[in-house]
Structure 1
């Protein structure tokens, strides 16, 4: 639905003699959103009212979907990351533009206008499934190490290809989480050192200098410490890689210390 969205911006300025002043400004833009935006939570809701959203995203699974002689349930179908646009006739009061259906003017939408898109996994699509046979369907199977597996993908793929695809996806997620962990560690040290910047901000230029130094110290601690945590986790499974990461952490920490010095 085309809706109002509130954007909040805060600017903090250091005061001469210490302390800070924070100024908060609000501006409102209109955009398409698949989630309902509650305008009653806005700072200034009077001129930015969003109507109730009449439709929400929905997913439907065919009850008689088949893969050869096996029945595919909603869970298995949901694992297939593929769809194509479905283009039925436009109902009364709606117009179609491209793959989307609009209730309102597609070229000049107003708040409350709707945009709907249909997608489906068409009949006849070749898919591959790696799972445990259960009756006339499929279910999760548990490996020796307790890992539960049920994989599905479009195309004629071998078990090795399905497993490799899942491994790459999980490896990417793991590195993203490691990056987030490093960022959180940096923010934690930065918050711990923040009082030093606050005390030095009695003279604004000193506050900025101390704040910059505190950020560098936080970075010098967070990066090698994060690498060490990752390295110790790897030691049990890949000792050579784990040992290499420990050496890397030491080198990074020493390099940052030398650079700061």
Structure 2
């Protein structure tokens, strides 16, 4: 059932908001311009750093012995990363021998979805109709339902356990005779599901806590869950059931997941799903500077730094190609963001003119279309100009060549246009 709210904003309030929008627009325009300029410099410096590194690295063929001759040099090496550390999540008593252990948490919650419809009124006021709908779903954070608009759903959310996403990393990870530094270890992804098993004592302890919370929230409904419990017990892993004599009501283990609730097949508000993944010992590829028995960042002449680690065996060419592609992708993403900020900024600056005409909605809507078109064209032109000027500053030869090509194209179209006009004039005279 949808819940709606209707609000009216007066013409005076809209004018006041538009004045604030001018200042916001100016700020967005400046930020977008600065971002476009900075991004071109960042892209060029990163490219030069990567090219410099590609010309300076050496291949570390043997990682089983520390080589003093390689100290301070940029190297590419591949080999087995392993550890003897045991990582522990004390909340559930999970213990694994791994390079990293990741705990992810999801909560089954009510979610409020708002859809707004705005309508200009004669005289300049604005009517806003907001429709709120509610749906259940798994979320990475508890949802604050005290801010819900529909009284029926307000304060309807709770959680059986409030846990946080957390990661544990081994303190000592060896790479042949060397050790990976902290930054390298934290860069490794957890891509293997952890086989979860709870001790009988831990299962009993946690289940009693969760059952108490469940009954306090669901009340008499908790007495109607026998059928759900039987279904869930059938789904619980054979390994977990054989490991425990205690028959839990609200704690269920399935593979790498700990489920808090009566039945994972029919989740209820408040249920919690905890999953584990780990990073096992395995081959890694490294590009970094040898620093004694460990590694540090490579610093190029322009001050940009580089240190790359990837899981699996990769050649230096593959790793550098990936870095170049990543730099190119980031450059284009930031360019798009910069252009959108510039256009949005111009839209905010000119928005007050549109608001002034809102007393006659039909006229204001036509004007708004024109403003949007003008802002789009001017914003794009300004952005391209800033990028071109940045190219002249950071890479003059390329920038000059680009401007020469653009100038030639403009001249060619201009000459073509003059020729067409002259031909039409001659035709009319004849």
TM-score by length of 2: 0.53
Residues 12, 20 of structure 1: 8 Å contact kept: yes
1:60 equivalent in structure 2: 168
Cα deviation, residue 207, structure 1: 1.4
Q: Does 1:120 align with 2:278?
A: yes
Cα deviation, residue 120, structure 1: 1.6
| Long gaps (5+) in structure 1 | 255-261
Runs of 4+ in 1 over 4 A off after TM superposition: 243-251
Task: Identify which range, 234-243 or 106-115, moves more after superposition.
Answer: 234-243
Q: Does 1:219 align with 2:327?
A: no
One of 79, 100, 122 as aligned partner of 1:16? 122
1:193 equivalent in structure 2: 350
1:108 equivalent in structure 2: 266
Listed one character per residue, the Cα deviations across residues 28-47 of structure 1 (whole Å, up to 9, x for unaligned) are: 32221222333334445634
Cα deviation, residue 225, structure 1: 0.9
Q: Does 1:171 align with 2:328?
A: yes
Q: 1:30 to 1:89 in 2, by over 3 A?
A: same
Listed one character per residue, the Cα deviations across residues 204-247 of structure 1 (whole Å, up to 9, x for unaligned) are: 22111111010000001011111111122222344454346556
Tell me how far apart the structure 2 counterparts of residues 19 and 248 of structure 1 sit (CA, whole Å).
47
Listed one character per residue, the Cα deviations across residues 61-80 of structure 1 (whole Å, up to 9, x for unaligned) are: 11232211112233102223
Tell me how far apart the structure 2 counterparts of residues 245 and 15 of structure 1 sit (CA, whole Å).
50
Which structure's relative contact order is higher, taking Cα pairs within 8 Å and 6+ residues apart? Answer: 2
Cα deviation, residue 174, structure 1: 2.0
Q: 1:233 to 1:82 in 2, by over 3 A?
A: farther
Q: CA RMSD in A?
A: 2.7
Cα deviation, residue 119, structure 1: 1.4
Residues 7, 26 of structure 1: 8 Å contact kept: yes
Residues 200, 206 of structure 1: 8 Å contact kept: yes
TM-score by length of 1: 0.83
Q: 1:73 to 1:192 in 2, by over 3 A?
A: same
3-state DSSP of counterpart to 2:168: coil
Number of aligned residue pairs: give it. Answer: 250
One of 13, 22, 35 as aligned partner of 2:141? 35
Q: 1:42 to 1:135 in 2, by over 3 A?
A: farther
Listed one character per residue, the Cα deviations across residues 91-120 of structure 1 (whole Å, up to 9, x for unaligned) are: 7422316x5442222222112111122112
Q: 1:213 to 1:72 in 2, by over 3 A?
A: same
3-state DSSP of counterpart to 1:225: helix
Tell me how far apart the structure 2 counterparts of residues 146 and 72 of structure 1 sit (CA, whole Å).
23
Tell me how far apart the structure 2 counterparts of residues 49 and 197 of structure 1 sit (CA, whole Å).
42
Task: Identify which range, 183-192 or 6-15, moves more after superposition.
Answer: 6-15
Please list, as runs of the form range in 1=range in 2, the aligned pairs for 1:132-211 lying within 5 A after superposition: 132-211=289-368
Task: Identify which range, 172-181 or 38-47, moves more after superposition.
Answer: 38-47
3-state DSSP of counterpart to 2:132: strand
Task: Identify which range, 130-139 or 209-218, moves more after superposition.
Answer: 130-139
Q: 1:137 to 1:212 in 2, by over 3 A?
A: same
Tell me how far apart the structure 1 counterparts of residues 328 and 381 of structure 2 sit (CA, whole Å).
21
